[in-house]
Amino acid sequence: MKEGYEIIDFRCRAPIKSQKMIFDLKLGRLKWENKFNCIPSQATSPSMYKVGEEEGLELLLKEMDEAGVDYIVFPGRNLSKPPKAVLKESDVDTLNVTDEMLHKLKEKFNNRAFGYHGINLDKSIDEIVNDINSAIKEKNLYGSVLETGFYTDERGEPLKLNNKNLYPIYETMVTLNKPLMLMSGIYAGHDIEANSWGPLDRVLQDFPKMKVILGHGGYPRVYDSVALAVKHPNLYLSPDIYCFFPGGRLYVETMSLLPDQFVFASAYPFSPMKEAVELTFELFNLKEDVLRKYLYDNGAKLLEI
């Protein structure tokens, strides 16, 4: 670790019981035939083997310090239908992370953890808006997470981000002046089309003041994601482990061109924090001012710390 750098890990799944599916995927892939020979994907840490145990949280806190990470962001989650390729539908009760869980995690991590409310799209839009307001105004959460890839619209078609039924969510985030994190990546929906970003372009045009974070960087649509960041200064990319996937070097190349719009994350448990930080220093070859913005400044601005 390099001395003198502050770091915010902007996307981290806690090793708690309700996140066991994520950790089973991480550890299970180590034994798959196509286990994917990528350094962060193959690396593990002790906390990953203690999911649902108090020791797991204690180990993760220790790993934060060893990696030089000052703060972490835990995304909430409220899904009715889990990723089919990962989890059986009968196990859905083990999937979600509530506002209450996020509050407890903040206390456990000595106020070094920030929670993002997980939006429940099974509720009516009025209930959703009330939940967002309550999460941010009353429960001191710092933003919201939206995962449309697991839902369908009123016609039974995949739910698109520019569906007008979702616009009250965006209006609420603008009014509250808090960021909205969108889920992307290879497990972001029931099929890969969850990462089609034309609808996001239209939303960003309609809501130029809404701060949007593209969790997992919009992968695998890397070119589209980068192009949208060029077009919309209110879009932040957090490509995390996908920087090391095929095509992910484009994210790194773009960081120097758009230094104010990239946010560091480890995507733990898909990468241990230590390896994520070390590889950023070793492989990215970024100028110091760009690196500081990526590791801390841009995230701190979004968290208002």
pLDDT digits (tens, 9 = 90+) for 12-25: 999 999 998 889 88
Q: Is 157 a member of any domain?
A: yes
Task: Please tell me what DSSP assigns to residue 204.
Answer: H
What average pLDDT does the structure give for the chain?
93
Q: Is the pLDDT of residue 94 over 70?
A: no
What distance in Å separates the CA atoms of residue 293 and residue 257, rounded to the nearest whole number? 12
Q: Is 230 a member of any domain?
A: yes
Q: Is 127 a member of any domain?
A: yes
* Residue with tokens 């967002």, as numbered in its chain: 132
Q: Is 3 a member of any domain?
A: no
Provide the 10 A C-beta neighbour count for residue 11.
25
Task: Give me the mean pLDDT over the 263-286 stretch.
Answer: 96
Burial class from Cβ neighbours inside 10 Å (0-12, 13-18, 19+) for residue 191 reads exposed
pTM for this prediction: 0.95
Domain count, the chain: 1
Structural domain for 238, as ranges: 8-303
Q: Evaluate whether 45 touches 63 at the Cβ level (below 8 Å).
A: yes
Q: Is 1 a member of any domain?
A: no
Closest CA to 286 of 246, 259, 260: 259
Q: Is 2 a member of any domain?
A: no
Q: Is the pLDDT of residue 155 over 80?
A: yes
Task: Give me the mean pLDDT over the 134-142 stretch.
Answer: 97
Residue 21: which CATH number?
A: 3.20.20.140
